[in-house]
Structure 1
Amino acid sequence: MVDILAQTIPYTEITIANIVFALVILIAGLLVAGILSGMFSKGLKKTKLPELVTEFLVRFLRALLYVGVLLAVVSTLGIDTSSVVVGLSAVIGLVLGFGMQDSLNNMAAGVWIASLRPLDKGEYVTVDGLSGTVHAVGIMATELLTPDNQFITLPNKLVWGSPIVNATRMPTRRVSVDVGVGYTTDIPKAVQIALDVIKQDSRVLADPVAAVVTAELADSSVNLQLRAWVNTPDFWAVKNDLTIAIHAAFGKEEIEIPFPQLDVHMYKN
Structure 2
Amino acid sequence: MTALDKPLPYVGVTPIQVITAIVILIVGYIVAKILVSMFKRGLKKTKLPELVVEFLGRFLSALLYVVVLLLAVRALGIEVGSVVLGLSAVIGLILGFGMQDTLTNLAAGVWIAALRPIDMGEVVEVAGKTGKVNAVGIMSTELLTPDNVLITIPNKLVWGSVITNYTRMPTRRVSVDIGVAYGTDLDRAVKIAMDIMQSHLKILKDPAPSVAITELGDSAINLQLRAWTKTEDFWDVKGYLTKTIYEAYMKEGIEIPFPQMDIHIKEMPK
TM-score, length of structure 2 as denominator length: 0.96
Residue 99 of structure 1 and its aligned partner are, at CA, apart by 3.8
Between stretches 231-240 and 75-84, larger displacement belongs to 75-84
Cα deviation per residue 1:216-262 (whole Å; 9 max; x = unaligned)? 11111111100000011110000000101001100110111111122
SS at the partner of 1:104? helix
Query: Counterpart in 1 of 2:10?
Result: 11
Query: Counterpart in 2 of 1:56?
Result: 55
Residue 8 of structure 1 and its aligned partner are, at CA, apart by 1.4
Query: Counterpart in 2 of 1:35?
Result: 34
Between stretches 4-13 and 200-209, larger displacement belongs to 4-13
- How many angstroms apart in 2 are the aligned matches of 1:98 and 1:147? 39
- How many angstroms apart in 1 are the aligned matches of 2:264 and 2:183? 22
Query: Counterpart in 2 of 1:200?
Result: 199
Cα deviation per residue 1:167-217 (whole Å; 9 max; x = unaligned)? 000011000000111112111111111111111211111111110111111
Structure 1 residue 45 corresponds to structure 2 residue 72: no
Amino acid at match of 2:176: V
Query: Counterpart in 2 of 1:106?
Result: 105
SS at the partner of 1:203? coil
- How many angstroms apart in 2 are the aligned matches of 1:189 and 1:109? 54
- How many angstroms apart in 1 are the aligned matches of 2:98 and 2:171? 43
Query: Counterpart in 2 of 1:224?
Result: 223
- How many angstroms apart in 2 are the aligned matches of 1:227 and 1:28? 59
- How many angstroms apart in 2 are the aligned matches of 1:99 and 1:238? 51
Query: Counterpart in 1 of 2:64?
Result: 65
Structure 1 residue 252 corresponds to structure 2 residue 251: yes
Where do 1:130-209 residues align within 5 Å? 130-209=129-208
SS at the partner of 2:100? helix
Residue 267 of structure 1 and its aligned partner are, at CA, apart by 5.6
- How many angstroms apart in 2 are the aligned matches of 1:64 and 1:100? 21
The root-mean-square deviation of aligned C-alpha atoms, in Å, is: 1.3
- How many angstroms apart in 1 are the aligned matches of 2:21 and 2:229? 60
Query: Counterpart in 2 of 1:22?
Result: 21
SS at the partner of 1:65? helix
TM-score, length of structure 1 as denominator length: 0.96
- How many angstroms apart in 2 are the aligned matches of 1:143 and 1:85? 31
- How many angstroms apart in 2 are the aligned matches of 1:10 and 1:257? 85
Between stretches 186-195 and 255-264, larger displacement belongs to 255-264
Residue 268 of structure 1 and its aligned partner are, at CA, apart by 6.2
- Deviation >3 Å, runs of 4+: 263-269
Count of paired positions: 268
- How many angstroms apart in 1 are the aligned matches of 2:237 and 2:81? 64
- How many angstroms apart in 1 are the aligned matches of 2:96 and 2:218? 58
- How many angstroms apart in 2 are the aligned matches of 1:129 and 1:3? 63
Between stretches 83-92 and 145-154, larger displacement belongs to 83-92
Structure 1 unaligned spans of 5+: none
Between stretches 252-261 and 61-70, larger displacement belongs to 252-261
SS at the partner of 1:201? coil
Residue 12 of structure 1 and its aligned partner are, at CA, apart by 2.7
Cα deviation per residue 1:2-22 (whole Å; 9 max; x = unaligned)? 612112111232000100111
Cα deviation per residue 1:106-140 (whole Å; 9 max; x = unaligned)? 11110110011001000000012110000111000
Cα deviation per residue 1:135-180 (whole Å; 9 max; x = unaligned)? 1110000110001000000111111111100000001100000011
- How many angstroms apart in 2 are the aligned matches of 1:12 and 1:134? 46
- How many angstroms apart in 2 are the aligned matches of 1:243 and 1:251? 13
